[in-house]
Structure 1
Amino acid sequence: MFKRLTTDTYNWILIIGVVLFIFEIVFFFGGTIIPALFSGFFMYIGWKKFDQLWGKILFWISLVGLVFAVLNLLAVRFLIIAAIVLFILNYSKSKKETEHINPMFPDVDEETMDSIIEMKPLFDHKLFEDQETENTAYQWRDVNIHGAFGDRMIDLSNTVLPKDTAIISIRHIMGNIEIYVPYEVEVSIHHSSVFGRAYIFGNHHWKLMNKSLLYQTSNYGGTYPRVKIITSIFSGDIEVKRI
């Protein structure tokens, strides 16, 4: 359905959604935004104590509260209605138009074609769970993940990095990030945070308020192996140290 939409249609939907969001903040004093933030905060606390009964109760109650708070936002209700209307219009149009695709393939020798191997990612996208690398030796694959709540820990001492640049990209909402790097590996770090702290190779930043950090080892430009770390987090700490 969404493949049929033009970029202008996407832009108008997003613009109207943002306008409604700002309208709710200005004229309704945030509407259900503040309850949604409180629900998300208590849900995070409940998840951290999920092994206890009160943590489970707090998590599920906060989750229900968060869902209702988000659904009560004008912008979210508009997006839901817009999605339903677009689905109906596209379904009606698809019934009237039949798309015929006649693929054309060039004469290529199958022996000269590149073979593609599907590999399992090192991490999956998990919203409410801690993740860490294995304690035993593992095969390296570049990391590109996002999450909501929980901690992320990556230990590079149990793997062999490639001869080119290894990539670690983590986008997160709440939780801590720990990355352990062997001494012979060069490192480039670009970290952005709204709230939190950072400890990067002995450099402490006790208060990160909507700030970005950029560090790079002296020989990163022309020495291998090396790893490029790009992290962004709403609230949480990051620690990068040698091991």
Structure 2
Amino acid sequence: MFKNTKDDHIGWLAFMGILILLLEILFFNRGLIFSLFIAGGMIYLGRKKHGKKKGKILFFGGIFFFVISLLNLMTFKFLILAILLHFFIQYLNSKKEPRKISPTFSEPGKFTHEETLIKTKPLFENIFLGQQKTPQAVYEWNDVNIQAGIGDTVIDLSYTMLPKGETVILIRNLIGNIHILVPYETEISVHHSSIAGAATVFGVKEMRNFNQVFQLKTPGYDSSEQKVKIFTSLIVGNLEVSRI
């Protein structure tokens, strides 16, 4: 019962958040999309002119306007209130139905099976700001599944030994570039989506720079014993997959 109540609260809060956002965009704050579009354009142009003074001004100015636009949202204020309300409801439910922990005893001589789990260290962590890249020396490979905020991600597969089968790289990024270097004769599949930014796979550049979604794979991917599946999503930024 407690779990179902918790799920109901989360579902209703999510539904109300989406409803308030739609109402705000359609009736109360029609300039929101335009503001976010301008902020995204400033960030994108600032990334393209990286290293120049004008580019830095555009980049950080775009981030500033993006954050201000979010903070002024009625939906953002509702989200903060909803989080506080959710924890308050959790607290009340815990008082009404305190959690009970009962010890379990196994019969003497009866074998109890326990699962053995092996914890491995991930290559990357979830970060909000900063660049992440694989070591410039031999390293042990682990599949990648990360979410990042603002910054670049560089993965060089030439310094590691990929296992047989399908290797997975999953990167969700708000603002930044993703560069993946793949050894020759390694088959790949790319699933990419972005709001604003270019995408280049093995020298072939996708024509759309805004709101693009595409899937590509090398001809021998399905039959290969060693292959890499790449999932990437960006709000603003560029994807590049190249051979090394």
Task: Tell me if both proteins adopt one fold, taking TM over 0.5 as the criterion.
Answer: yes
Deviation digits for residues 141-172 of structure 1, max 9, x if unmatched? 00001112111111000000011211100111
Indicate the residue corresponding to 1:151 in structure 2: 152
Aligned partners of 1:143 and 1:169 also within 8 Å: yes
Aligned partners of 2:203 and 2:242 also within 8 Å: yes
Aligned pair count reads: 242
Q: Distance between the aligned counterparts of 2:168 and 2:154, measured in 1?
A: 15
1:52 Cα offset (Å): 11
**Partner secondary structure for residue 147 of structure 1:** strand
Q: Distance between the aligned counterparts of 1:33 and 1:238, measured in 2?
A: 24
Aligned partners of 1:196 and 1:206 also within 8 Å: no
Indicate the residue corresponding to 1:176 in structure 2: 177
Indicate the residue corresponding to 2:197 in structure 1: 196
| CA pair 142-111 structure 1, distance change in 2 beyond 3 A | farther
Q: Distance between the aligned counterparts of 2:211 and 2:163, measured in 1?
A: 33
Aligned partners of 2:171 and 2:233 also within 8 Å: yes
Indicate the residue corresponding to 1:116 in structure 2: 117
Indicate the residue corresponding to 2:101 in structure 1: 101
Indicate the residue corresponding to 1:17 in structure 2: 17
1:78 aligns with 2:71: no
Aligned partners of 1:46 and 1:57 also within 8 Å: yes
Indicate the residue corresponding to 1:89 in structure 2: 89
Q: Distance between the aligned counterparts of 1:64 and 1:212, measured in 2?
A: 27
Q: TM-score, normalised by structure 1?
A: 0.80
Q: TM-score, normalised by structure 2?
A: 0.80
Aligned partners of 2:9 and 2:86 also within 8 Å: no
Deviation digits for residues 12-42 of structure 1, max 9, x if unmatched? 2112111211222222234666656766777
Deviation digits for residues 219-239 of structure 1, max 9, x if unmatched? 211222211111111222111
The answer to which of 144-153 and 68-77 deviates more is 68-77
Aligned partners of 1:174 and 1:233 also within 8 Å: yes
Aligned partners of 2:40 and 2:196 also within 8 Å: no
Aligned 1:21-40 pairs, distance under 5 A? 21-30=21-30
Aligned partners of 1:154 and 1:179 also within 8 Å: yes
The answer to which of 76-85 and 196-205 deviates more is 76-85
Aligned partners of 2:152 and 2:178 also within 8 Å: yes
Alignment gaps of 5+ in structure 2: none
1:95 Cα offset (Å): 2.3
The answer to which of 115-124 and 105-114 deviates more is 105-114
1:133 aligns with 2:134: yes
Alignment gaps of 5+ in structure 1: none
**Partner secondary structure for residue 15 of structure 2:** helix
- Please tell me the root mean square deviation across aligned C-alpha atoms, in Å: 3.6
| CA pair 216-95 structure 1, distance change in 2 beyond 3 A | same
1:205 aligns with 2:206: yes
